[in-house]
Amino acid sequence: MRPTKHGAIIMYTPGYDIASITSMVAGGCQLVAFTTGRGTPTGIALAPVIKITANKQTYKQMEDNMDIDVSGIIDGSLSLQQQGADAIFSEMLAVADGKITKAEAFGFSDVCIDHVCRFV
């Protein structure tokens, strides 16, 4: 189904990380802002995937794989405005302008098509 409105669109996708990203890109998403708590190391060749975590431990253990750490919102060291509007939006603009994401740098390219109907 084609979107009927312009602007940011929230898409209902499967819960499995890789199938969710595949579904978003198949639906027309051109840049994925992917939030992860455990640090799913994923990417897709068809669109850049910016990985964002608010889990300080995940970022420390997977800094090579995470693009943005927003844990400062949780511990109170940074505001939602500083992290959300400034850090995330700035990163999205940089990636749209050609900056390579960590997933692209590592060559991660996962595709998964989830079952359309599980109860048949």
pLDDT, tens digit, for every residue of 43-89? Answer: 998 999 999 999 999 999 999 999 999 999 888 888 888 777 788 99
Residues 6+ apart with CB under 8 A from 107: 43
Residue boundaries of the structural domains of the chain: 17-106
Helices within 27-114 (DSSP H only): 56-61, 71-75, 80, 89-96, 102-106
pLDDT at 119: 53
One-letter amino acid at 25 equals: V
Provide the percentage of residues in the chain whose pLDDT is more than 70: 94
Q: Can you give the pTM of this predicted structure?
A: 0.82
- Cβ pair 29, 79 in contact under 8 A: no
**What's the chain's length in residues?**
120
* Ranges assigned E (strand) in the chain: 32-35, 49-53, 68-69
Residue 35: name the closest of 3, 83, 94 by CA. Answer: 83
